[in-house]
Amino acid sequence: MNEQNIFIVRCGEVALKGMNKPYFEKMLVNRIKKLLKKFDNVETYRHEGLIFVRADKKHDSEKIIGEISKVFGVASISPALECESELNAIGAAACELAMKLIEEKGIKTFKVSAKRADKNFPVKSPEIARIIGAKVLVGCRVLKVDVHNPDAEIFVDLRRDVSYVFEQKISGFGGLPLGTNGKGMILMSGGIDSPVAAWMMAKRGMMIEAVHFHSYPYTSQRAQEKVEDLARIVAAYVGRYRMHVINLLPVQEAIVSNCPEDETTILVRRFMMRIAEKLAAANGCQMLITGENLGQVASQTAEALTVTDATVNMPVMRPLIALDKVDIIEKAKEIGTYETSIMPYEDCCTVFLPKHPVTKPKLEKILESESKLDVDALVDAAVSRQEIIDIKP
C-alpha cells in the first residue's frame, strides 16, 4: 500500500523539443510546483522521461489533478499505484486497482496493456499483460476480460527500479510551458473573445500582461470589476500579471468632436492599438494580442483590420481570427470565463457607437481624419493616466 498518492504527468509537444527538452521539462516542473505550492508535502520531479508528483494521502486527489491539468504543456495525468518491478507485486497492484474500479465504477470487464521500459526484463510486454490479466481474474472473480470494448483498461508501465499501474489518462490542455515564448500585451475587454485569446497565447508558452480601456463615467465601476474578474480567471492558468487600466474617454471625445461619425469605431481602435503598443514596449512585451475575429463586426473586416494594423509596428497576434463564434464560446466555457463574460455590462466600445460604422475603411481617408487630432498628445496623456492593477489567481 502506497503512503502517498502518485501521479504520472506526461508532456505532449515538450517531448519533441530535441536538445531543448530538458529546458522545457524544467519549466514544466517549475510551473507544476508553483501551482501545487498550496499543498504541503508534495514533491514534483523528473525521472526517466516522465514527470512525477507525489502527494500526501491527506490531499484530495481531484484537487491535485485539477491544478496539474491547468499547467500548459501537460498532455495527460494518471493517478498511479507504484510497486516493485516484479510480476507478483505488479499483479497485486493491478488487483488493488481493479477492486477500486469495481467499487467506484461498477466495472464488469477489463483488459491489461503493458509497456516494458526496461528492455532487460525477461518477459515481453504482451506476455506481461497476459500474466497480469490472469492474476486480476483470479483476484477479482466478478471480472471478465474483454479486449475489444472493456469497461476499464489497466495499464502497466514496467520500469527498471519500480513499476506503475494505472487506469485513467486524464487529458491536459497540451501546449508549451508558460515562460518559454516571450510576453504579449493582451487588449482585454469584458467580452467573450479577449480572455480566450489571452489563454490561447499563454497555452503556447507566452506570458501576458493586459490593458483594459474604459470610458468612465459612461462605463461603470462594476463593468471594470467584471474585467478584473475575467482577468483573475485567466490568472488561474498564467499566474500573477499586471493589468493597465486606461480611461479612453478624452480620446473618444476628441474623435467624436473632430472626425466623421461613421469612422468613430475604427479611429478609437487605432488609438487602442497605439496606447497598447506604447505600454507593451515599456513593459517588455514583444507583441500585442487581441480577441479579434475575421468578419465578426464592422471593425473586424479585412479592410478594417488592415487599417487597425497600420498604426503599430509590433506584431499583432489574433489567435481567434479564423474560429467560429460557437467554437470560441465552447472554449470560453471550458476555461471558465464564459459565465462572467456574458454578464451584461457596458464596454467603452459601445459608448459613442456610430449608427452606420464604415466596414471598408480606406487608410488615406482615416489618416486625413486623424490629422485633425493631436495623436501623440492624446496617446501620451492616456498612458500617463494609467492605473495599474495586480491580477492574482
Give the binding site for ligand ATP (CB under 6 A).
Answer: 187-189, 191-194, 211-213, 272, 290-292, 296-297, 347-349
The residue with its CB nearest to ligand ATP is 191
Query: Which listed option, Mg ion, ligand ATP, none, makes contact with residue 212 (CB within 5 to 8 Å by class)?
Result: ligand ATP
The C-alpha cell that represents 99 in the structure block: 477492486
Query: Which listed option, Mg ion, ligand ATP, none, makes contact with residue 370 (CB within 5 to 8 Å by class)?
Result: none
Minimum distance, C-beta of residue 146 to ligand ATP, in the bound complex (Å):
46
Minimum distance, C-beta of residue 260 to ligand ATP, in the bound complex (Å):
20
Residue 342 to residue 42: CA distance in whole angstroms: 37
Residue (201 or 348) nearer to ligand ATP, CB: 348
Secondary structure percentages of the chain, helix, strand, coil, to 5? 45, 20, 35
Residues sharing a CB contact under 8 Å with residue 316, sequence separation 6 or more, in sequence order:
273, 287, 288, 289, 290, 308, 309
Minimum distance, C-beta of residue 193 to Mg ion, in the bound complex (Å):
4
Residue (29 or 223) nearer to ligand ATP, CB: 223
Integer Rg of the chain from CA? 27
Single-letter amino acid, residue 260: P
Instruction: Match 465552447 to its residue by C-alpha cell.
Output: 330
Number of residues that bind Mg ion (CB under 5 A): 1
Q: Is the peptide bond preceding residue 354 cis, with omega within 30 degrees of 0?
A: no
Residue (4 or 296) nearer to ligand ATP, CB: 296
Residue 232 to residue 234: CA distance in whole angstroms: 5
Specify whether the CB–CB gap between 4 and 57 falls below 8 A.
Answer: yes
Query: Which listed option, Mg ion, ligand ATP, none, makes contact with residue 319 (CB within 5 to 8 Å by class)?
Result: none
Sole binder of Mg ion in the list 167, 193, 209, 263 (CB under 5 A): 193
Query: Which listed option, Mg ion, ligand ATP, none, makes contact with residue 349 (CB within 5 to 8 Å by class)?
Result: ligand ATP
Minimum distance, C-beta of residue 198 to ligand ATP, in the bound complex (Å):
9
Minimum distance, C-beta of residue 201 to Mg ion, in the bound complex (Å):
16
Residue 110 pairs with which residues in a beta bridge? 145, 152
Query: Which listed option, ligand ATP, Mg ion, none, makes contact with residue 192 (CB within 5 to 8 Å by class)?
Result: ligand ATP
Q: Which of residues 115-134 bind Mg ion (CB under 5 A)?
A: none
Residue (162 or 329) nearer to Mg ion, CB: 329
Instruction: Match 487597425 to its residue by C-alpha cell.
Output: 308
| Nearest of 148, 158, 288 to residue 211 by alpha carbon | 288
Query: Which listed option, ligand ATP, Mg ion, none, makes contact with residue 230 (CB within 5 to 8 Å by class)?
Result: none
Query: Which listed option, ligand ATP, Mg ion, none, makes contact with residue 268 (CB within 5 to 8 Å by class)?
Result: none
Residue (114 or 298) nearer to ligand ATP, CB: 298
Minimum distance, C-beta of residue 188 to ligand ATP, in the bound complex (Å):
5
Query: Which listed option, Mg ion, ligand ATP, none, makes contact with residue 205 (CB within 5 to 8 Å by class)?
Result: none
Residue (95 or 200) nearer to ligand ATP, CB: 200
Taken in order 213, 219, 225, 226, is the CA torsion positive or negative? negative
Residue (136 or 196) nearer to ligand ATP, CB: 196
Residue (191 or 239) nearer to ligand ATP, CB: 191
Alpha helices in the chain (DSSP H): 21-35, 61-68, 87-105, 125-139, 193-203, 221-238, 249-258, 264-282, 302-309, 325-335, 338-341, 363-370, 375-384
Straight-line distance from the first to the last Cα atom of the chain, in angstroms, rounded to the nearest whole number? 36
The C-alpha cell that represents 206 in the structure block: 507566452
The site for Mg ion (CB under 5 A) is made up of 193
